[in-house]
Amino acid sequence: MLIRAKAPLRVSFAGGGTDVPPFPEREGGCVLCATIDHYAYGTLRPRHDGQIVVESLDYGLSVSYSVEDKLVYDGKLDLVKAAIVKLGVQDSGGFDLFLHSDAPPGSGLGASSAMMVALVGLLKEFKKLPLTDYEIADMAYVIERKELAIQGGIQDQYAAAFGGFNYIEFLADHVVVNPLRLSPDIVNELQYNLLLCYTGQTRLSAHIIEDQVQRYEQGETTGVLRNLKKLTVEMKDSLLRGRLDEFGTMLHQEWEYKKQMSARISTPHLDELYEVARKEGALGGKITGAGGGGYMLLYCPFERKHTIASRLKELGCTIGDYAFEPSGLQVWRASPSC
């Protein structure tokens, strides 16, 4: 018997940064995001020889060890090791894990956190643990951000666990996921006008987050984060009302606020790409993750979308095909092929 899982990646429209501690504990944060049909995948196959074998297609790594070994965090698939330890699955007869993702690490689509959610889903199914979506997301967050001390925000784990369009609030001691009830017309029109563009560069978000947190602690970005919170609520309201051109224009303001949080969030290359897109008619846009590279999301009037895409391709970008994904983490059992 095989256990499989997939967790969707996400695009973040607004509020990224307000979910990065310690700001949410002190003032509360909020984000507006949606999951797309790009996924982190995992397969678990039980063994009976006391061995654990993990293969990651994205990192080109394969590691193996005994269930009796003490797992050491050495930079080789530490996310997997931490999940195994947290869920206590070393008391099994062993298993194989095969992991891969539709987006590279550092893409800005929350791929590493989606993989952690998929891992927790696989291992909780293997152990038959009755975890809710909130508990899965919280466990993924604790493993990634606290156990392994990987700096970052809170939104990605909850987006991957719940799926769909969400307005997520981060309060001092808990998280509230508010699903947005959008009509099919709004969802289709939004997708029709949004352009997802891979800039050709990945980034290490931890360095950007570290600089962002330091600037906040020094009191340099408190006002910016408060402005982002206010803008996120306004963008949510515009989306719910179907005022999509207004929503697209506010994406531009979100990007302008975001760049004020750290000088590392944008680069001359990203600035050039964004300027070209705006000159060709894009109403607004932003980098979908912490910044520095990855995917750029652009809101384009339908009659200018193809022209904008062509110009960005000339500059070395790749235009991504995508659709919004309404479901979050999915886990199922399958019989191995003969």
Give catalytic residue positions.
156
Cα dihedral 13, 19, 23, 26 sign: positive
Residue 281 exposure: Cα atoms within 13 Å on the Cβ side: 15
Helices (H) and strands (E) counted in the chain, each on its own, are 11, 12
Strand order in 194-198's β-sheet?
A: 284-287, 295-299, 194-198, 318-320
22 contacts 313 by C-beta, under 8 angstroms:
no
1 C-beta neighbours (distance < 10 Å), count: 9
228 contacts 212 by C-beta, under 8 angstroms:
no
Q: CA 17, CA 236: separation in Å to the nearest integer? A: 17
- Write the DSSP string, 59-105: TTEEEEEETTSPP--SSSSHHHHHHHHHTTGGGSSEEEEEEEESS-T
Residue 83 exposure: Cα atoms within 13 Å on the Cβ side: 27
User: Dihedral (C-alpha) 268, 273, 274, 279: value to the nearest 10 degrees?
Assistant: 120
Q: CA 10, CA 27: separation in Å to the nearest integer? A: 24
